[in-house]
Structure 1
């Protein structure tokens, strides 16, 4: 069994690869002043970059936990998510409402992906 950690930080890593499964933390927008749509696009861009860096793509996402900081954001976030996620091969999804730190973050997405 092999485990590899990518981009370790004091409290977290950018990804953990165990065997052929990649675990990502909750990814949030770097600029959290824009709209929910813009934050969701930023998050999906970061996800795309991390998937590419790990040698995989969105078609291999096994599960996603999508978090919004206010339930009123779901429709706006889903408009972006639904256009990005492979409609014929969607992952298992959990949608949650939770506070995201720091203040101003509206969307976060956590993934488990096959390599």
Structure 2
């Protein structure tokens, strides 16, 4: 049976769950009220740090789901994403519009990666 490791757990969720060789990250958000580009960069910086904590990195991402509060921000978010994502190791990705947990958040990034 594969082990399950939980990191940075709280009463509602963990920031990282590792099951076997698969890493699941909770949705990452940026600085509330910052620009879309800054919030995107904040999210991606958090993803880098969390993956590194469990021995993975962005080149090992399998799937990414990005929620935008407004699809009109798609190009601005992609400008940051495209500079960050490792070419040749891009994950499958979906991006959609959703009402996020707090009105000041414009971007949320959810990652599944290999260890």
Q: Normalised by the size of structure 2, how large is the TM-score?
A: 0.96
RMSD: 0.7
> How far is the alpha carbon of 1:88 from its aligned partner?
1.1
CA–CA separation in structure 1 for the residues paired with 2:3 and 2:40: 32
Structure-1 residue corresponding to 2:60: 60
> How far is the alpha carbon of 1:76 from its aligned partner?
0.1
Structure-2 residue corresponding to 1:113: 113
Q: Normalised by the size of structure 1, how large is the TM-score?
A: 0.96
Q: Which runs of 5+ in 1 are unaligned?
A: none
Structure-2 residue corresponding to 1:6: 7
Q: Which runs of 5+ in 2 are unaligned?
A: none
Whose strand proportion is higher, 1 or 2?
Answer: 2
How many residue pairs get matched?
114
Residues 1-115 of structure 1 correspond to what in structure 2 (within 5 A)? Answer: 1-29=2-30, 31-115=31-115
